[in-house]
Amino acid sequence: MQPSQLPPDDSGSEDVVHPTRYLPVVETEVDSLAGRIALVTGAGSPDGIGFSVARRLRLAGAEVIIVSTTKRIHERAEEIDGTGFVVDLTEDAEVAGLADAISEQIGDVDILVNNAGLASKTGPAILRPVAQLSYLEWQDEVERNLATTFLVSRAFVQGMAERGWGRVVNVAATAGVVNGVPAEAAYAAAKAGVTGLTRALSMELIADGVTVNAVAPGLILTGSSTVPELRRGLDMPIGRPGTPDEAASAIAYLCSPSAGYVTGQVLVVDGGAGVRA
């Protein structure tokens, strides 16, 4: 039943209001992102989650901007007819410069996917027990996996709020949120921090038409996956590791107009590992 077809209130009270009764019925392609500008960080790898997200958003009609720390980002941008920037997102000044460049050259960002920070061949994870972890190594993991999400979000969410529409999706991880892995305490703590930031920011922006959610991938097969990770993937309840496209599909949904009533949530994409007994 459409909102305009709701039955009349028969409670006898004129004070009872059906909020959906007055919503217009609009026929539209609800998942089209035509006219929207999307920024995806950490999209330099051709077989990573970030680039898979960028492809999906481009196919949905968005103008896509992608960011990484190396010049290969320009190759990825050319593949999707997008725009690439080389930026160190752990540096406040560089993030501010990115925001200025996008505003001047392209326009206002409507969709932000904070994917930067996941381990890659150029930035491998620091795997060391807490007792052997240096404070500098701890800081490096937190800066790469949590500070980047904070800095980029801070640079763009106010504009979204002022325009009354926006989507922010932060890529967390099952580590630290669903499970614990030995020697990954710094990474897990940072990714757990991403989920806390997601929930707090969602409440700050909830009245402004901006949703903020997180996706927590489990073991995903990418170009940086190690042999032990691949073996762990075969032990998943579903019998294999996930693919970047499977993680990207969840992220793309949360970027869509259809997800307008979803905010402050963490969507786990782990092939059932988190619920296995």
Average pLDDT over residues 15-26: 50
pLDDT of residue 18: 54
Query: Does 21 map to a domain?
Result: no
> What does residue 90 show for φ and ψ, rounded to 5 degrees?
-85, -5
Query: Does 84 map to a domain?
Result: yes
Annotated active-site residue 22? The verdict is no
Query: Does 11 map to a domain?
Result: no
CATH number at residue 42: 3.40.50.720
Q: Answer for the pair 133, 126: CB distance below 8 angstroms, yes or no.
A: yes
Candidates 204, 177, 209; CA nearest to 190 is 177
In sign, the C-alpha dihedral spanning 149, 155, 158, 164 is negative
Average pLDDT over residues 63-77: 98
Cβ neighbours, 10 Å, residue 259: 19
Query: Does 142 map to a domain?
Result: yes
Cβ neighbours, 10 Å, residue 15: 6
Strand partners, 63: 37
Q: Give Cβ neighbours of residue 183 (< 8 Å, ≥ 6 apart).
A: 127, 128, 129
Average pLDDT over residues 164-193: 94
Q: Answer for the pair 17, 45: CB distance below 8 angstroms, yes or no.
A: no
> What does residue 211 show for φ and ψ, rounded to 5 degrees?
-100, 150
pLDDT of residue 223: 78
Domain containing 76 equals 30-270
Query: Does 176 map to a domain?
Result: yes
pLDDT of residue 276: 86
Beta strand 83-86 pairing with 37-41? unpaired
pLDDT of residue 104: 98
Query: Does 6 map to a domain?
Result: no
pLDDT beyond 90 at 167: yes
Q: 22, 187, 253, 261: which one is catalytic?
A: 187
Task: Among 4-8, 177-181, 251-255, name the most confident range.
Answer: 251-255
Q: Answer for the pair 268, 178: CB distance below 8 angstroms, yes or no.
A: yes
Separation of alpha carbons 142 and 134, rounded Å: 13
pLDDT beyond 60 at 14: no
When divided into structural domains, the chain yields a total of 1
Ramachandran bin of 214, using left for φ above 0, alpha for ψ from -120 to 50, beta for the remaining angles: beta
Share of the chain above pLDDT 90, in %: 75
pLDDT of residue 201: 98
pLDDT beyond 70 at 78: yes
- pTM for this predicted structure: 0.88
Query: Does 43 map to a domain?
Result: yes
Candidates 188, 192, 190, 210; CA nearest to 201 is 210
pLDDT beyond 90 at 10: no
